[in-house]
Structure 1
Amino acid sequence: MESFNLQFRSNAKKLQEAINSFEELHAQASTSPRLLKAEIEVIERVFSDMMEIKKKILDELLATGCSEDEFHQANCEGDQLAKLVYICRAEFEEFNCQANQPIFERPLDSKQLRLPTIEWIKFDGDIKKWLGFWGQFRKVHEDKTMSNEDKFHYLLQATVPNSKARRLVESIPITTDGYEKAISLLKERFARDDWLIEVYFRELLSSVMKHVVNRSSQNVPLPLSNLYDEVSAQLHALEALNIKMDQYALLLYPLIESALPNDVIKAWERKRENQNSDPTDVLGELMTFIKAEVNSDERISRSRQPLTNTEDQDVATASTFVSGHHNPAAQPSYHPKAQSEAFEVKKTAAEVTCIFCTKGHASHDCQKAQNWSMEEKKKAVKSKNCCLVCLKAHRDHETQDSRT
């Protein structure tokens, strides 16, 4: 037993010296990857010998019937050195890797693009973040060439300090079996399928009901793109949990439909009447239709952007292309009528006010007025002394032709 302890302390001292040598080389600006590789191989060999001796010490303690405290103390010996070894491995991989490939395995091309290092999606114990975290960490978990001790180190790095997830991982000693136990406990606490399904269904219903309540309260309607993005995110999460859309389509379809604006519902009903819809995929067809409406709104929004730039800029004129140079001091001349029209365009864009809700948008774009009857709209237009055709005030007309 004493001989094992002596060998363990000797290897621990040798390992500390190898780690110090590696850190000195790593800190140098121009360090050869081959030297670092040689140092890391020495560290790996000494660390492996030390862990073999530690296993013999633990087996001897179990055979002699030691107390629980004695066994725990012996089991924790060398954990700090083990963490330093894992840090050295990570530093070597970071130094020696580019685009997830070791430098000695990829062609030496000086023109290769140096990609930024991928940052971990760190898990803090929030069950809604588990799918994103596990989607990234699964690559490490399923790597057959990496030891469980290395995976344990990466698992520690991938959790938020002082969080529920980090405390759970730190409660387990860094051993080969400890990694598997840590993953098992994380999945048991944060990745139960029934809990995840319940969480995402709640988020889905909450998103839909928020839009339903907003419509019924006669507030300014939320953008249709918000509804589509929020619902799609939860549907994708449920799909990742192998929950098919047809399992909840009949329940969710009327809720999503009730959250749509009136004009969108009318367009959806017309579309359903003009083509034979599959009753088993009605929710999928509705989401496809909403996506098309969102894309259409985006195109309309871009087409209505003003063509004039209100900022003062140094604009090049035709003389620039004739003379080959641009004189910033030269002011271009404009036709008086063109100047007047440009001024009116800027003035109209700056002073636009909706006659229905007095907000800063064009009257024909008012979402609130879309839910009014035709008589209510006419009454509102006449009360503001505006034109029933163009919805502008009569004083803004240049002629009497557009009055009604």
Structure 2
Amino acid sequence: MEPLKKKRTVLRIGFTKALNSLQVMLDNAESTIASLRVAFCTLEDKLTDLNYCQDSIIEAILETATETELQKEYDEADEYKHRFLTAKYLFTERTMGDSNLVQNLVDCAVPSGSSSNGENKRSYKLPSIEIVKFNGDIREWLSFWSCFKKIHEDKNMCNEDKFQYLKQAVVPDSRAAELVKSYPPTGSNYDKVIRSLKSRFGQDELLIEVYVRELLQLVLQNAIKGRGNISLASLYDRLESHLRALETLGVTTDKCAAMLYPLVESSLPEDLLRAWQRSDAGKHNSDAEDGKPRSKDRLTRLIEFIEREVQSELRISLALQGFNLDTGHESDIKKSKPYKFNRNIPSAMGLLMTKGKDHTCIFCDAKDHESEGCNKAKRMSLSGKQECVKRARACFKCLKIGHGFKTCRVRVKCSRCERRHVNLMCPDEKPREQRDEIASADTSAPVRKELNCIASISNNKMVFLQTLKVKIYSDNRELIARVLIDSGSQRSYVTKDIIEKLGYQSVGEQRLSHMLFGGGQSEVVAHKEYRVRMQSLESDFACNFVALDQEVICGRIEPIENKKWLHELNEFNIRLTDVWDCDDPISILIGADVAGKILTGCRKELKSGLVAFETLLGWTIMGAVRKENVRENSTVAAISLYVKNCDLKDLWSLDVLGIRDPMTYRTFKQQEEVMYREFLETVSINSENRYEVQLPWSENHPPLSDNKSVAIKRLQTTTKKLRIEGRYEAYDAVFKEWLAEGIIERVLDKEMDIWGHYLPHRHVVKERSTTVIRPVFDASAKQPPSPSLNECLQKGPNLIEQLPSILLRFREDLWKSQL
């Protein structure tokens, strides 16, 4: 509100100055009609801007202001209108002899909306037209120049003002802005900068090539990706836009139809192209009555045919949606919109859970469960399941009926092999009966499992935690991960492994101290914040929230896999997502800050003692049950999120401090002497005056692999991240600089077959450093079961052992320093 009032004050001052100037000219008998007309038009423009600002202020205070305040605002506005009308009357009397000017004044409306006798008088105010800003993209030149051309051809405006409008009409820090800034903003340079812009971005030949390449790009998209990535309406709009742009540049259909027709035809999907060839318009190939080709008419008929198809699809869509005849197929494959927790919805609506329609299982014809969760199919072999899918004419990827594998648009991924199919159709999964036989044949051997419980060390009970599987996704990737819901944690966490795979960017940082089990407290640790995006496996709910990064969340947590319990859950129409034997770690912990928003309040208590809780992401199980025929070693694990990578033996080992057995120390000392002697023997200066030294290999180290596949995969992921961050050119410049200085050299084609070890690399960015981006080579990367390069090299002397002697030697002499 305050900025608007300041603006109104400035506009009122400008109006008063213009009014005073007009009155002085009216009092002067020597003033010409032209100067009076300019002064009056200036006053009229000032009043127009003042009325627009005044209307904005009234709209802003309309709901909160009292009647007295509104009356005051209207009175002040009427005062300025009255002063304007008085000046207009005096100006009309002075210029009564000029009939044309009087007629213009009659036709000109008072900016405040006062009425006039003209029948074609416009009594409303149109919004101001904003100049299209040009960013240097050649494809945006036509739209920019069509808007700025009016300013360019205005003869009443000086070149200095045109230059200022041109500076405002370009996007800052763009190529066009750099070109405009290279000329001093003077009137003589305006024509020069316009010529430079036209020669750089407005050449007709260059623009024609750009739009022809756009048509070629549509052809390539249709040939590579097919119809699945673009709708028919979007395709028609893009074709129409490119053809009209070419027509504006002089490439009309009557001159270049023979060239444009194959491009347009090849950009169409196969089914539409077949319909075009079967239509009456497509059957008239090219022969007219005189035998000459009619490519122009054929291109026009093709565009009209596409337009009719777009209109037909729109009418069909309206007919189906108008009477609720939609089959729901499109809605099944659409991605659900992200759920926002901060939406203000009624409390009754918050308890509503939308249930999808029932689906018939293609394996057992039941309607109470999906095909993916069929227990009968889990006991079948892979060939038997494939036969059932083929008989039902369903998709081998998602098990839905109505489409095939090649045209399937459902985003699914197997959690075992990470290929594009549901877990049930994984070739690596064995039937349930075979797994039971293997388990029964091995009952004589004791079964040992490591369980993570919360508060039970009983040998005859198994405690289940609230775990489930969800889809975690980013802009370019999607993963299936296990989630643990823990209301005892105040914050939510996500593992760094998931962050790296999905390429999440940090949105903040927090420093926290974790309260541990038993009353302990960890040190203050810095955690980065990331916005996690997840959705249920059925894609019927999606949400996003902020979580803190953590290396490891907790140990292994067993999923539920008892047939009896799962059968009891099926009776309640409850399907769990985290079932059967799963070795995947917990990747996300949903704490109390988010858990309360996804719990629906629905619960079912089973006969076995377990309790099922419903969440917006799926059902979870919690509770304790008695174990049957399984001997297990259970431990108590507190989910405190305080993880430190160290071996347990280091807690009582003095080797870390350099206190060792004399015989062991003598052995290490000898190894260091041998390593130092080998270093002196192998170090040398080459022809380029650079030091060369052999790597300190360990004795009897395992064979080292070439590590080429790991390096190639790392290069692909690094390149992708660099392009997203916009640092690809800077990273490439570092390698070019190293190549010029002789630090690295290019591998010749004839040396590609020679064995070598490839080191993966990635980029490290430090904004405050002199070298903002630099490569870091990872010698610890390996391709299992082969070791890494660091595992095959000597570790070198332990510098920690030298700390006691350094600390004791510090008191031998006097030291002086200045801070």
TM-score (structure 2 length as normaliser): 0.28
- Distance of aligned partners of 1:264 and 1:28 in 2 relative to their CA distance in 1, 3 Å threshold: same
- Distance of aligned partners of 1:254 and 1:165 in 2 relative to their CA distance in 1, 3 Å threshold: closer
Is the 1:36–1:92 Cα contact (8 Å) retained in structure 2? no
- Give the one of 248, 257, 282 matched to 1:240: 248
Number of residues of Structure 1 aligned to a counterpart in Structure 2:
259
- Give the one of 215, 226, 230 matched to 2:234: 226
RMSD: 4.4
- For residues 241 and 97 of structure 1, what CA distance do their matches in structure 2 show? 42
Q: Deviation of residue 274 (structure 1)?
A: 8.1
Does residue 264 (structure 1) correspond to residue 272 (structure 2)? The answer is: yes
- SS of 1:225's equivalent? helix
- Distance of aligned partners of 1:207 and 1:92 in 2 relative to their CA distance in 1, 3 Å threshold: farther
The residue number in structure 1 matching 2:141 is 130
Is the 1:200–1:237 Cα contact (8 Å) retained in structure 2? yes
- Residue pairs, 1:51-200, within 5 angstroms: 95=49, 106-108=108-110, 109-110=113-114, 112-200=123-211
- Distance of aligned partners of 1:367 and 1:303 in 2 relative to their CA distance in 1, 3 Å threshold: farther
Is the 2:12–2:50 Cα contact (8 Å) retained in structure 1? no
- For residues 228 and 257 of structure 2, what CA distance do their matches in structure 1 show? 28
- SS of 1:123's equivalent? coil
- Residue pairs, 1:313-352, within 5 angstroms: none
- Give the one of 203, 207, 221 matched to 2:218: 207
Q: Deviation of residue 247 (structure 1)?
A: 3.7
Larger radius of gyration: 2
Q: Deviation of residue 360 (structure 1)?
A: 11
- Give the one of 283, 295, 298 matched to 1:280: 295
- Give the one of 301, 313, 317 matched to 1:301: 317
- For residues 347 and 36 of structure 1, what CA distance do their matches in structure 2 show? 76
**Range moving further from structure 2, 113-122 or 187-196:** 113-122
Does residue 250 (structure 1) correspond to residue 265 (structure 2)? The answer is: no
Q: Deviation of residue 142 (structure 1)?
A: 0.9
Could you list the structure 1 runs, at least 4 aligned residues long, displaced by more than 4 angstroms after superposition.
24-27, 38-41, 91-94, 273-278, 344-348, 351-356, 358-362, 364-369
Larger proportion of helix: 1
Q: Deviation of residue 176 (structure 1)?
A: 2.3
Q: Deviation of residue 210 (structure 1)?
A: 0.7
Does residue 31 (structure 1) correspond to residue 2 (structure 2)? The answer is: no
Q: Deviation of residue 115 (structure 1)?
A: 3.0
- For residues 154 and 259 of structure 1, what CA distance do their matches in structure 2 show? 40
Q: Deviation of residue 199 (structure 1)?
A: 1.2
Q: Deviation of residue 230 (structure 1)?
A: 1.7
The residue number in structure 1 matching 2:585 is none
Counterpart residue identity of residue 314, structure 2: E
Q: Deviation of residue 125 (structure 1)?
A: 1.5
Deviations 1:303-360 (A, max 9, x none): 1126459xxxxxxxxxxxxxxxxxxxxxxxxxxxxxxxxxx99658xx9999544779
- Distance of aligned partners of 1:274 and 1:162 in 2 relative to their CA distance in 1, 3 Å threshold: closer
- Distance of aligned partners of 1:265 and 1:172 in 2 relative to their CA distance in 1, 3 Å threshold: closer
Is the 1:123–1:133 Cα contact (8 Å) retained in structure 2? yes
- Distance of aligned partners of 1:277 and 1:180 in 2 relative to their CA distance in 1, 3 Å threshold: same
Q: Deviation of residue 27 (structure 1)?
A: 5.4
- SS of 1:140's equivalent? helix
**Range moving further from structure 2, 32-41 or 167-176:** 32-41
- SS of 1:122's equivalent? coil
- For residues 277 and 239 of structure 1, what CA distance do their matches in structure 2 show? 23
The answer to which structure, 1 or 2, has the higher relative contact order (CA under 8 A, 6+ apart) is: 1
Counterpart residue identity of residue 194, structure 1: E
- Distance of aligned partners of 1:144 and 1:243 in 2 relative to their CA distance in 1, 3 Å threshold: same
Deviations 1:40-59 (A, max 9, x none): 99xxxxxxxxxxxxxxxxxx
Identity of aligned residues (%): 37
Is the 2:152–2:162 Cα contact (8 Å) retained in structure 1? yes
Deviations 1:205-238 (A, max 9, x none): 11222112223xxx74632223212222111111
Counterpart residue identity of residue 162, structure 1: D
- For residues 366 and 305 of structure 1, what CA distance do their matches in structure 2 show? 27
Structure 2: 5+ residue stretches without partners: 23-41, 53-83, 89-104, 116-122, 287-293, 326-354, 360-368, 372-391, 409-819
- SS of 1:162's equivalent? coil
The residue number in structure 1 matching 2:402 is 363
- For residues 352 and 107 of structure 1, what CA distance do their matches in structure 2 show? 70
Q: Deviation of residue 239 (structure 1)?
A: 1.0
- Distance of aligned partners of 1:368 and 1:172 in 2 relative to their CA distance in 1, 3 Å threshold: closer
- SS of 1:28's equivalent? helix
Q: Deviation of residue 118 (structure 1)?
A: 2.2
TM-score (structure 1 length as normaliser): 0.53
- Distance of aligned partners of 1:184 and 1:96 in 2 relative to their CA distance in 1, 3 Å threshold: farther
- Distance of aligned partners of 1:307 and 1:135 in 2 relative to their CA distance in 1, 3 Å threshold: same
Is the 1:214–1:221 Cα contact (8 Å) retained in structure 2? yes
- For residues 130 and 48 of structure 2, what CA distance do their matches in structure 1 show? 12
- Distance of aligned partners of 1:273 and 1:146 in 2 relative to their CA distance in 1, 3 Å threshold: closer
Counterpart residue identity of residue 129, structure 1: E
- Distance of aligned partners of 1:304 and 1:356 in 2 relative to their CA distance in 1, 3 Å threshold: farther
Structure 1: 5+ residue stretches without partners: 1-23, 42-87, 310-343, 370-404
- For residues 135 and 143 of structure 1, what CA distance do their matches in structure 2 show? 13
Is the 1:124–1:166 Cα contact (8 Å) retained in structure 2? yes
- SS of 1:305's equivalent? helix
- For residues 255 and 144 of structure 1, what CA distance do their matches in structure 2 show? 43
Q: Deviation of residue 245 (structure 1)?
A: 2.0
- Distance of aligned partners of 1:132 and 1:361 in 2 relative to their CA distance in 1, 3 Å threshold: farther
